[in-house]
């Protein structure tokens, strides 16, 4: 389960309303013991446009991440946020999907090729890099 706090704001440019939420996520103890991100607190933003729910929100990690499916700018390579979006998805399902992706990366569709390579070829170094990101998340809270 995810713990989350959010603060919303509206941006009215060119008569288009955009809702933007700053979110803090924290993984609770319900996840698998091997989950290396479980003790981290990671901030992300979820932006909803007027086209929501027909178009997915834009979701980005604000916190620094080292993960095969997270781009350097924090964007997440996740099918439900792109070509597999459905208007039935809500914030909870998005966060659950992100949790699953963090727990089970898809190195065959990398957004971060270095993380994908380490994940496949040198798990110990990958886990060391992730542990450093988790520790940094504590300081950034």
The residues annotated as belonging to the active site are 77
Find residue 2's DSSP bridge partners. Answer: 27
| Closest-CA residue to 23 (of 85, 88, 74, 82) | 74
Contact 84, 61 (CB under 8 A): no
Instruction: Report in angstroms the alpha-carbon separations of 115 from 60, 109, 134.
Output: 17, 11, 15
Residues ≥6 apart with Cβ < 8 Å to 27:
1, 2, 3, 35, 37, 38, 39, 40, 99
Contact 25, 44 (CB under 8 A): yes
């Amino acid at each position: 389960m995810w713990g989350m706090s959010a603060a919303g704001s509206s941006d009215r440019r060119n008569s288009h309303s955009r809702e933007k939420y700053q979110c803090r996520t924290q993984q609770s103890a319900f996840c698998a013991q091997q989950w290396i991100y479980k003790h981290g607190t990671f901030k992300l933003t979820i932006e909803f446009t007027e086209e929501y729910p027909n178009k997915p929100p834009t979701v980005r990690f604000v916190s620094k991440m080292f993960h095969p499916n997270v781009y350097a700018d924090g964007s997440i390579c996740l099918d439900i946020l792109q070509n597999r979006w459905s208007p039935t998805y809500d914030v909870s399902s998005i966060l659950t999907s992100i949790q699953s992706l963090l727990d089970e990366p898809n190195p065959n569709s990398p957004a971060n090729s270095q993380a994908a390579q380490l994940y496949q070829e040198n798990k110990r170094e990958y886990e060391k890099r992730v542990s450093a990101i988790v520790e940094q998340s504590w300081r950034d809270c």
